[in-house]
Structure 1
Amino acid sequence: MSQTATAQGANTEIVFTPAAQRAMAARGSAQGYARKIASGFPDRVTPDLRGFIAELDTAFLATVSAEGAPYIQHRGGPKGFIKVLDDKTLGFADYAGNKQYITISNLEGNDHAYLFLLDFANRRRVKVWGRARVVENDPALMEKLVDPGYRARPERAILFTVEAWDVNCSQHITARYSEADVAGAVAGLRDRIAALEAENAELRSWLGQPAKKGPAQ
């Protein structure tokens, strides 16, 4: 995935904090990241990132409380449930859930947030650093974020301002496929089997041989 952004800020320390840079230097990996440390990271949504996000049906949102307690929450929905509102802003509907409100309460005291985006089938992942905020009672915004036909009750919106993002390596990602992906692949195989059975029956007819019955369906 290309990481060329329309604008790129001096945001290295968002991704590689001073402590992280010291750890990299002590362990011999700083030189390999020297260019990124010098130039910073993309801070806007590129066409490639937009396309990647449009295919996602799952994500993980990390927040931290004012007291420093970390929390990660799964977010999901139909493909494309995370909407790109502009080149700095992502948004998604917050649907009714277990009513613990940990993410919401964390963002009240600390708006730093992080999105971990995984495409299991293609073994790709993207890390996004930024700020998040909760938006209540905004019907116009919700109309942009809610997917028609998705059977869940939206309660509010979460907007995420992108400050930096980076593509993570695919190492150790186990490929997994959704039910819809598997159904699509199986449908193609069934169509191919049906076509081959029809061709086989036609050949047998031409040779004057009785058609073989396939396995019971």
Structure 2
Amino acid sequence: MALAFAQIAFTPSVRDQQQRLGSGNYANLLSPERTGGDTLGPAESAFIEERDGFYQATASETGWPYVQFRGGPAGFLRVLNDRTIAYADLRGNRQYISLGNLAANNRISLFLMDYAHARRLKIWGHVHVIERDTLAGRAMPPDLFPAKAERLIVIRVEAFDWNCPRHIPRRFTAGDAIRRIEQLEHQNAQYRAELSAMQARTAGTPRP
């Protein structure tokens, strides 16, 4: 667990609860010697771009949190560099709760899940919203902003943390199941071919 994460998550009231409940040793994570946790590496980048959905949390100016699920094809959440990620904001139910919250408080938290392999990545950041009519001339990957997108949500990563896999239920999407079935069918075809070849080799062998 890195310093950047602890500095954001371990507020004084959190530290009080850690001390009260016997996990006060987490305070050691705030030592100046600990660094990292705010620069995405190859493992984080690959995990992020493999996701087909994530949960995002924002907070209103009145202090109420709001959690929303954002989904899309794998890769719709893009790593632009080791401190920046982005996704295209498509039209939904037109409540614009997350967008309104971000206008007042641009802090955001993402929760990325891989249920099949019991992995999860938490990301904290600050958001910069780029509306469609102001996109011209900006250096963005051409496939990041589809025609039906209303805006880009660009997130400056302030911290991330790989969470403990304990208690994550193993779940598989339809795509996961299809890929696994295809693998098993391929293996089965190989076994059948090997069996047929073995039977052909032994068909004419006289018995002792």
The equivalent position to 2:66 in structure 1, one of 40, 47, 71, is 71
Partner of 2:154: 159
SS in 1 for 2:56: strand
The RMSD of aligned alpha carbons is: 2.4
The equivalent position to 2:175 in structure 1, one of 173, 180, 183, is 180
Contact 2:6/2:30 (8 A) holds in 1? yes
**What per-residue deviation string (whole Å, max 9, x for no partner) do you get for residues 78-124 of structure 1?**
22221111222110011121111100011111111101111112111
Q: Provide the rounded CA distance (Å) in 1 between the counterparts of 2:159 and 2:189.
A: 50
Q: Does 1:170 align with 2:169?
A: no
Partner of 1:135: 130
Contact 1:93/1:142 (8 A) holds in 2? no
Residues 41, 203 of structure 1: CA spacing in aligned structure 2 closer, same or farther, 3 A cutoff?
A: closer
Cα offset for 1:181?
A: 2.2
Q: Does 1:80 align with 2:75?
A: yes
Cα offset for 1:77?
A: 1.4
Q: Does 1:30 align with 2:24?
A: yes
Cα offset for 1:195?
A: 3.0
Paired AA for residue 29 in structure 2: K
SS in 2 for 1:60: strand
Cα offset for 1:157?
A: 0.6
Cα offset for 1:197?
A: 3.0
Residue-pair matches, total: 197
Cα offset for 1:37?
A: 2.4
Q: Does 1:207 align with 2:206?
A: no
**What per-residue deviation string (whole Å, max 9, x for no partner) do you get for residues 12-40 of structure 1?**
33111111011101111011x23322236
Paired AA for residue 184 in structure 2: L
Partner of 1:56: 51
Contact 2:39/2:159 (8 A) holds in 1? yes
TM-score (norm 2): 0.84
Regions of 4+ moved over 6 Å:
none
Q: Provide the rounded CA distance (Å) in 1 between the counterparts of 2:96 and 2:127.
A: 15
Gaps of 5+ in 1: 209-217
Q: Provide the rounded CA distance (Å) in 1 between the counterparts of 2:143 and 2:105.
A: 26
**What per-residue deviation string (whole Å, max 9, x for no partner) do you get for residues 160-208 of structure 1?**
1111111110011112222222222211211222233344445555537
SS in 2 for 1:121: helix
Gaps of 5+ in 2: none
SS in 2 for 1:78: coil
Q: Provide the rounded CA distance (Å) in 2 between the counterparts of 1:97 and 1:142.
A: 23
The equivalent position to 1:106 in structure 2, one of 79, 97, 101, is 101
Residues 53, 203 of structure 1: CA spacing in aligned structure 2 closer, same or farther, 3 A cutoff?
A: same
SS in 1 for 2:92: coil
Contact 2:15/2:27 (8 A) holds in 1? no
